[in-house]
Chain A
Amino acid sequence: MERNEQTTAGPRLTAGAIAQKYGILIALALACVTLTFISENFLTTRNILNVLRQTSINGVLAIGMTFVILTRGIDLSVGSLVALTGVVASSFATTATTGFIPGAPWPALLAIAIGLVVGMACGGVSGTIVARFRVPAFVATLGMLSAARGLTLLYSGGRPIPALSEGFRWIGTGSLFGVPVPIFVLLGTFAVAHFVLTQTRFGRHVYAVGGNPHAAKVSGLPVNGIRFAVYVISGGLAGLAGIILAARTGSALPQAGIAYELDAIAAVVIGGTSLAGGIGRVSGTLIGALLIGVMNNGLDLLGVESYYQQVIKGVLIVAAVMMDRSKNKQD
């Protein structure tokens, strides 16, 4: 990342360089401008809030995924973790389950904390398998994808967990100053992740481990600890996404979140983070997630069949990686 900024700064800031550096942002702007012209309902406050709210779950997952991919890893388990954390947290948040005070449900915050802990614990298991036992991330998290889905079905008996308490549902359906809560969750997650990656030592270590693991090890960085930590972050954010999803739909569904990992990876890749590790930023991921969200929303507004949405998303992913490649070659 730092390298790119150096090469494109100063007098060498040509049109081509701008297009490559801000390509994804330009694509998002173009999509928004086009949609504003062809659909009168696109650029309305309510619709923009809708797009942001619809992006919140994928955005939160993709931010966690960015940490993992920056270390040359991958986390395929987040879709299953969305379902697992959703049903576990919700089971403590139904109006039927009573907490400390007889007759009253568990405090929503406690249910949310339980969901986050379950997500982090599963991430911790994946992280341990990757960092300590040297199992490739693809395999370790593929295992977690299957195991977590199985645990979800065991825990819930394959049935949805309905009737969630008002307090718990607030995180998915509530509003603050007219803005839906999930949007605050997304922006808050982004702000923290951006700060951690750019302003803290841990963040620099994440880039170092992904950029050159050998050099990082030689210079005495706790490589294993960092690898472990990124999966805990990804798992915890999957928990957050699972909680938002359950709160939004009003019921935790054991079959929720199937293939969500693919959309999260797509947002990261479209946002310019390299699957080879060490290069990328979380702001790109956020824009990537927004681009996917704007596209789905726009095509729905225009009444385009959902099958086209999948085709267009596929083209975007490949185009983004091709651009990334030519950028790196230039360096």
Chain B
Amino acid sequence: MTKKLLTMASTLALVAGAAFADDKPKIGAAVYGLNAEFMQIWAQALQNHPAVKQGLVDVTVFDGKYDALTQQDQFETMITQGFDAIIFVPIDIEAGAAAVDAAAAANIPVFGSNTRVNSDKLAAYVGSDDVQSGYMEAKYVLDKIGCKGNVVIIEGPVGQSAQIQRLEGNKKALAECPDVKVLEDQTANWSRAEAQTLMENWLTAHPGEINGIIGQNDEMALGAIEAVKAAGLDPKSFAIAGIDGVTDALHAVKDGNMASILQDGAAQAQGALDLAIAAVLPDYKPMSEIWTAYPDMPWADGKAKEYSVPWTPVTADNVDALLAARQ
């Protein structure tokens, strides 16, 4: 009995001790939602960051469940629990601003990653320029069809920042090819199944007329490929491009059916984490290998406001390495 009590007491003391002695910086990551592959890769990259693996900091990821209010509540939680820094991937460019304000008022630095938020209180932002990727994918399609013929654009949900910026990039490239006609231009809400239906109907509406397919993400480009196959046509006879570099798209690039532009979510996550740690630990040197992998994105002592992670076109040359990294 006495022994049992002693064990209990010492266990309690240990637990209490752990709670008090743990003065490791606590960093919270509030992401818009974890249901899709891209954010899974992003979140996994945080846990794989050397500083986390060596136990330098504690990282907690909060799933925003695609709801602005949920994210706001999670900010409140992090503020009351005394987190030292926050990494923020907002669902909505406007609605996230109030959450950033609240954290800034509590003197907790907030670092944006992947998706922008309309706030001047962000300590820094690590992301990739969607206008550029929109330009790159459209340019690939237009080059492949020789700057003439007809294309269709499958857009993301109208009004989302990635849709707006990728469309701007698409149009920039299209302006360089005035002979190319955009036959159709509609949203499939980032969804493979929706894009498949849309493309099936477009192939019916414009038989033999479509030369290029610009999908604003990989999922929708993959849906278009399935529609092309279902119509008994060869995807290789079309110019098809998408953005993000999800695993299925890497396989499709390998098969020669499409082009994709890799958005390095892992680098966006690890870059933001390095910045967050540097804000908390004054002598910290960045530990992620991304800073050597991307010489175009200098660390700048962690003092810059904007870090732009370069896009990587997925080609037959690098696709095997990229696929291997996904295992």
> CA of A296 to CA of B37 in the docked complex: distance in angstroms?
29
Tell yes or no: B107 within 8 A of A by CB: no
**Of A153, A251, A297, A300, which one neighbours B35 at CB under 8 angstroms?**
A153
Q: Which chain B residues border A44 with CB–CB below 8 Å?
A: 204
Per the bound structure, the CA–CA distance linking A116 and B202 in Å amounts to 33
Contact B193 A50 (CB under 8 A): no
Shortest Cβ distance from residue B308 to the other chain A in the assembled complex, whole angstroms: 27
Residues 38 to 71 of chain A near chain B (Cβ within 8 Å): 39, 41, 44, 46-47, 50, 53-54
User: Would A250 and B226 count as touching, CB distance under 8 A?
Assistant: yes
A302 to B202, CA, bound (A): 9
Cβ contact of A159, chosen from B187, B198, B247, cutoff 8 A: B247
A158 to B204: give the CA distance in the assembly, Å. 34
Q: A249-B196, A255-B36 are in contact. Are A306 and B226 (CB under 8 A)?
A: no
Report if A300-B36 is in contact (Cβ < 8 Å); known contacts: A249-B192, A249-B226, A306-B187.
no
B40 touches A157 (CB 8 A): yes
Q: Enumerate chain B residues within 8 angstroms of A250, measured Cβ to Cβ.
A: 222, 226, 248
B35 lies within 8 A of A158 (CB): yes
- Give the residue name and chain of the B residue nearest to A260 (CB): B193
**Is there an interface contact between B200 and A54, defined as CB atoms closer than 8 Å?**
yes
Q: A248-B196, A249-B193, A249-B196 are in contact. Are A158 and B222 (CB under 8 A)?
A: no
A254 part of interface (Cβ distance < 8 Å) = yes
Asked if B192 and A253 sit within 8 Å, CB to CB, the answer is yes
- Whether A162 contacts B230 by the Cβ 8 Å rule is no
A173 interface residue per 8 A CB criterion = yes
Our count of residue pairs bridging A and B at CB distance below 8 angstroms stands at: 83
Determine the chain A residues whose CB is within 8 A of the CB of B219 once the complex forms: 253
Q: Which of A160, A255, A305 sits near B186, CB closer than 8 Å?
A: A305
* Shortest CB distance B192–A (Å): 5
Is B310 an interface position by the 8 A CB rule?
no
- Contacting pair B186 A158 (CB below 8 A): no
Contact present for A251 and B200 (CB under 8 Å): no
Please tell me if A27 contacts chain B, counting CB pairs below 8 Å.
Answer: no
> A residues within 8 A CB of B198?
300, 306
A245 CB-CB contact with B under 8 Å: yes
Interface residues of B (CB under 8 A from A): 34-37, 39-40, 184, 186-187, 192-193, 196-198, 200-202, 204-205, 207, 219, 222-223, 226, 229-231, 246-248, 251
Contacts A253-B192, A303-B205 known; list 7 others, CB within 8 Å: A50-B200, A162-B251, A173-B226, A248-B193, A251-B192, A300-B186, A300-B205
